[in-house]
C-alpha cells in the first residue's frame, strides 16, 4: 500500500507518522521525504506491507498532521489511463508494448485519435481505438469527453496529440493530463520546436513531460532529457533523434506518476524517485 503526504512542514512530522504506523502495526518497507525550505512544505511517500481501511487510516493521519495536509492512500497502485494521439506512433507504440507486458503501471483503457492512422496498431494490441476528426465543425471535444466518460480512468496521456485542447477540457481533468513536448521546456514552446531549434543553432535538443494547464506548454514539469546536437544536423535529423528521447521521457514520467511519486505545488513538482 502506498501513502503520499503533502503538508506544511513542522518539527517531528516523520516521527509522528512513523509512530502512528508502528502503533497500528504497519511495517514501513520504503520511505522517501523532501522539505522545500523556501515554501516550508513537507512531502513524503511511504510503502507499507499491510492493507487497511483507507478512510480510517486517512482520518488518523489527518488528526495528526497540519490542517492543510493532503493525504493520498492507494491500496491498489495500478491506474487506468486513456491515451490521445494524432499520427506519430513512437510514444504510443512504447505505451502499448509496456501495457501488454504489464510494465506500464497502468491499464490502457482506450486510444482516441484525431486521425485514423494509429488504429491498426491499437487493433494489434486489442485496445479499443476511436477516431474523432478535429477538422469538422462537430464539437470534437464533446465527442472525446463522451468516450472518456465510458471508461474508468485516472489519467489522460497525450502521446503526441498535436492539437491544442480547450481550458474547459483541461479543467475537467485538473492535474490528470500528462503531455510529452518535443523540446527542453521552457525553450521552444508551441509548434515546430525542432525547426525553432535548428534555426537557433542550438547545441542541445530535448524533450519534456509535463502536466497540462491552461497555458500552452507551461504546466508543471515531471521529467526532461537532452541530447547533443551540432551544425551537421538538419531539422529532419533532429526530429529522428528527438523521437528516441520523447519516448524515454514520457515512459519515465508515466512510471513516476502512476507510482504516486509526483507531488504538485504552484507550477512545480517534487518527484520522489
| Residues carrying an active site annotation | 217
Q: Which residue has the cell 524533450?
A: 207
CB count within 10 Å of CB 63 equals 9
Q: Which residue has the cell 506500464?
A: 104
Strands 106-113 and 129-131, sheet pairing: parallel
67, HSE (Cβ side, Cα atoms, 13 Å): 0
Q: Is 213 helix (H, G, I), strand (E, B) or coil?
A: coil
Q: Contact at 8 Å (CB) between 249 and 224?
A: yes
Rounded CA separation 50/30 (Å): 13
SS3 content of the chain, % helix, strand, coil (to 5): 30, 30, 40
Rounded CA separation 75/72 (Å): 10
Amino acid at each position: 500500500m502506498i501513502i503520499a503526504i503533502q503538508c506544511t512542514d513542522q518539527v517531528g512530522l516523520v516521527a509522528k507518522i512513523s509512530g502512528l504506523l508502528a502503533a497500528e502495526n504497519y511495517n514501513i518497507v520504503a520511505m522517501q521525504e523532501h522539505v522545500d525550505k523556501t515554501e516550508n512544505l513537507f512531502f513524503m511517500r511511504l510503502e507499507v506491507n499491510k492493507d487497511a481501511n483507507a478512510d480510517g487510516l486517512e482520518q488518523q493521519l489527518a488528526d495528526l498532521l497540519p490542517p492543510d495536509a493532503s493525504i493520498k492512500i492507494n491500496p491498489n497502485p495500478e491506474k487506468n489511463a486513456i491515451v490521445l494521439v494524432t499520427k506519430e506512433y513512437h510514444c504510443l507504440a512504447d505505451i502499448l508494448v509496456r501495457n501488454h507486458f504489464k510494465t506500464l503501471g497502468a491499464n490502457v483503457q482506450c486510444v482516441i485519435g484525431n486521425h485514423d492512422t494509429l488504429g491498426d496498431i491499437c487493433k494489434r494490441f486489442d485496445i479499443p481505438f476511436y477516431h474523432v476528426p478535429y477538422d469538422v465543425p462537430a464539437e470534437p471535444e464533446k465527442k472525446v469527453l463522451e468516450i472518456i466518460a465510458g471508461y474508468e480512468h485516472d489519467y489522460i496521456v497525450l502521446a503526441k496529440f498535436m492539437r491544442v485542447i480547450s481550458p474547459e477540457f483541461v479543467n475537467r481533468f485538473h492535474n490528470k493530463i500528462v503531455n510529452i513536448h518535443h523540446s527542453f521546456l521552457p525553450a521552444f514552446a508551441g509548434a515546430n520546436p525542432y525547426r525553432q531549434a535548428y534555426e537557433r543553432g542550438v547545441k542541445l535538443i530535448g524533450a519534456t513531460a509535463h502536466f497540462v494547464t491552461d497555458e500552452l506548454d507551461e504546466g508543471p514539469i515531471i521529467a526532461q532529457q537532452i541530447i547533443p546536437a551540432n551544425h551537421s544536423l538538419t531539422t529532419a535529423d533532429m526530429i529522428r533523434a528527438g523521437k528516441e528521447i520523447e519516448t524515454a521521457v514520457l515512459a519515465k514520467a508515466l512510471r513516476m506518476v502512476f507510482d504516486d511519486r509526483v507531488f504538485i505545488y504552484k507550477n512545480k513538482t517534487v518527484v520522489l524517485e
